Amino acid sequence: MTKKFLVTSALPYANGPLHFGHLAGVYLPADIFCRHKKHLHQKVMHISGSDEHGVAIMLSAEKAGIGYQQYVDKWNASHRELFAKYGIEFDFFGRTSSDYHKKEVLRWFNDLNSKGYIGKKLEKQLYCSSCSKFLPDRYVEGTCYACGYKDARGDECPNCGEWIESLRLTDPRCKICSNTRIETRESEHWYLLLSKLESLFKSWFASKKHWKPHVWAYTNALLENGMVDRAITRDLTWGIDVPIEEAKGKKLYVWFDAPIGYVSNTIEHFRASGAKDDAFKDWWKNPDTEIIHFIGKDNIIFHALIWPCMMLSTGFTNPPDDVPASHFVNLEGRQFSKSAGWYVDSEQAIDVFGQDALRAYLCSIIPETGDSSFSWDHFISFNNELGNKIGNFVNRSSSFLAKHWPDGLPAEAFAKAASAENFGVFKKSIAELTSALDAFQFQRATSLLIRFGEIANETFHAREPWKTIKNDKPHAEETIALSVFSIATIAALFRPFMPKFSKQLSTYFTGYLDGAGLDALYQGRVEVMVDAFRGGFRLPVTPSPLLPRIEEAGVAGFRLGKT
C-alpha cells in the first residue's frame, strides 16, 4: 500500500501568546513538511490542538480573575488566529478540555490500570497551611538546588532548565499567598509504572537509530539508570478526574492527558466528517502510516519515552516512527521571556511585515541541530538577499519579457530552452530539495531554494538578453524562455515555504500551469513545462515586485528597548 504520513505538532499550551521560537521550532517545520507531502500527492494529515490543563493555566486564570474554561477559550482562539495569519494549516485543531478528549483519556487510563501499569504510592508533597492546599508544580517557588536561582518553579528552573523536585527547593514559598512556612505532608498518588515497561520499550527503541542524534542520545541517556515510575495524578481542581473512587478530588496530570490529544483529536476529526467510528485506526494502527511528532527538545522525554510506552502497552495505536525535536530559538542571543521584556509580539510583527517575510526568515533559522537566534539585523539582510536573488530575477526577466514580447514568446524559444542540460539542472535542484525536506533539513532546503534563484540569475546575466535582442533575437528569446522555466519552477518549489508568494507568482502562468501542473513540476516532472508552453507564452499579468525590501525604519520599533 501507499505510505501515509500522520503528522502531529506539540499541543500549544493555552497560557499565553506564541512567539517566534514556538513557530520556528515546531509549527512552521510541521506545516512545511505537510505541504511538501501534499504537493508530492502523498497522503498526509496534520493534527494538533490546545493543551488546556495544568497548574500554570490555573495560576494565570486565578491572577486574571476569570474561570479556567474562559481563560483557555481565550488562548485557543488567539492561537488559531495566529496560525491562520502565518499560513500554518491543520486538518484538525482540537482541545483537551473537550468531552471527547476526556472520554479518550479515560479509555487509556482504564486500560493501563487494568493491565497493572498504574499503581498507587504514598508520597511527600509541599503543603501551604494558609491556603489549605497542596502545592504541586508551579504552585510553589523557591531557590534552585542546581544553580541557586531564587525564582525556580516547583517543576522546572527557568534559569538552568533543571527538572525540579519541589521537596528539594531551598526556601520554598506558596505562589498564591507568598507564605514561606511551607509544610511537608503525605498524599496518595497514582503512577505510570514505567519500570514494568522497560524491556518492551528498549526492544522498540533499538530500531530508532535513524532519529536525530540529539533526540536519540537524550532518550538513550534516560535508560542508563533504568526507567523511573512517574506520577500521573495531582491534587488540583482543574483537569480530568481520576476514574477511581479512592482518588476522588484528584486530577490526571497534564503530561499524561496531553499526548492522548493527538488521538482524541483525530477521532473527533473523523467523527465530525461523518466517517466510521474506527476510521482513525487506518492512520494510527496502519503499518503503512508513518507517525511523526514535531516538538521542541524540552518535550523529548514525553514524546520519545513516556508516550511510546503508553502506546506500546495499550496497543491502541502504533508508536511514533520519528520525533524530529527542534532545539530552541532565542531572541538576539537570549532566551525569549515576556516577563523580562525580552520578547517580540508575533502577531504585531506579521501585521507589519506580512506572512512571506516572516515565514521565509523563520525557515532559515529553524533550530534543527542546535539553538538558533532571531536577529533583526539578520531578518533584514536575509529578506533583502531573498529579494535580490529571487525577487529581482523574477521581476527583471518577466518585465523584459512583457516589454519586448507583449504578444507572446514563440514556441520555438521554449523548444530550444528545453534542453537535456538545462532540465538536468532543474531536476537536480528539485531532487535535492525533496531529499532535504524528507530528512527534516529545513535550513538546507531554504538554502537550496535561494541557490536555485542564484543559478537562474547568473544564467540570465551570463546570456545578456538586453544585448542579444539587438543582434540575435532567437538567442534572446531562448534566454527568456529559460527564465520562464525558472520562474515557473520557483513558483512550484516555494509552495511549502511561502505559499502566499507562490500563489501570487502562479498568476503569471494562468492558463498555462494550474495547481496540478505546478505539483507535477514540484515532483520533478519538468517536462510538464514543455507541454504548458508548446504553443508559446504570453504573460497574462503585468509584472510587479513581489518581495519588497525590508528597511531599518520598519524594524526600528520592534528592536528591544525601542518599543
User: Hey, what amino acid is at 407?
Assistant: D
**Full strand arrangement of the beta sheet holding 230-231:** 133-134, 118-128, 182-192, 230-231
Q: Indicate whether 277 pLDDT > 90.
A: no
- The mean pLDDT value for 408-419 works out to 97
- The mean pLDDT value for 313-317 works out to 98
DSSP state of 344: -
Rg of the chain over all Cα atoms, to the nearest angstrom: 27
SS3 52: coil
Task: Provide DSSP, 476-524.
Answer: HHHHHHHHHHHHHHHHHHTTTT-HHHHHHHHGGGTTT--HHHHHHHHTT
* Superfamily designation of domain 4-111+255-348: HUPs (3.40.50.620)
Of 110-114, 274-278, 490-494, give the lowest mean pLDDT range: 274-278
In whole angstroms, give the CA distance from residue 202 to residue 303: 15
- The mean pLDDT value for 96-120 works out to 98
Determine which helix (DSSP H) or strand (DSSP E) holds 190, and give its type and residue range. Answer: strand 182-192
pLDDT value for 437: 99
Nearest to 6 by CA among 262, 307, 300, 276: 262
Higher-confidence residue of 71 and 124: namely: 71
pLDDT value for 133: 85
Q: Indicate whether 563 pLDDT > 50.
A: no
On whether the CB atoms of residues 47 and 265 are closer than 8 A, the answer is yes
Average pLDDT over the chain reads: 95
In whole angstroms, give the CA distance from residue 490 to residue 33: 18
Q: Give the rounded percent of residues in the chain with a pLDDT score beyond 70.
A: 99
The grid coordinates listed for 86 are 502565518
Q: Indicate whether 271 pLDDT > 70.
A: yes
CATH number of this structure's domain 375-532, picked from the four choices 2.40.240.10, 1.10.730.10, 1.20.80.10, 1.20.1440.120 = 1.10.730.10
- The mean pLDDT value for 513-528 works out to 98
In whole angstroms, give the CA distance from residue 11 to residue 258: 7
- The mean pLDDT value for 461-481 works out to 97
How sure is the predictor about 1, in pLDDT bands with cuts at 50, 70 and 90?
low
The grid coordinates listed for 192 are 505510570
Nearest to 171 by CA among 149, 189, 188: 149
In whole angstroms, give the CA distance from residue 161 to residue 371: 14
CATH number of this structure's domain 117-247, picked from the four choices 1.10.287.610, 1.20.210.10, 3.40.190.290, 2.170.220.10 = 2.170.220.10
Q: Is the C-alpha dihedral spanning 311, 239, 230, 6 positive or negative?
A: positive
Q: Indicate whether 561 pLDDT > 60.
A: no
On whether the CB atoms of residues 386 and 547 are closer than 8 A, the answer is yes
pLDDT value for 162: 80
Whether this model's pTM surpasses 0.75: yes
Task: Provide the residue ranges of all domains of the chain, joining segments of one domain with +.
Answer: 4-111+255-348, 117-247, 375-532
- The mean pLDDT value for 474-497 works out to 98
In whole angstroms, give the CA distance from residue 165 to residue 332: 31
- The mean pLDDT value for 442-458 works out to 97
How sure is the predictor about 562, in pLDDT bands with cuts at 50, 70 and 90?
very low
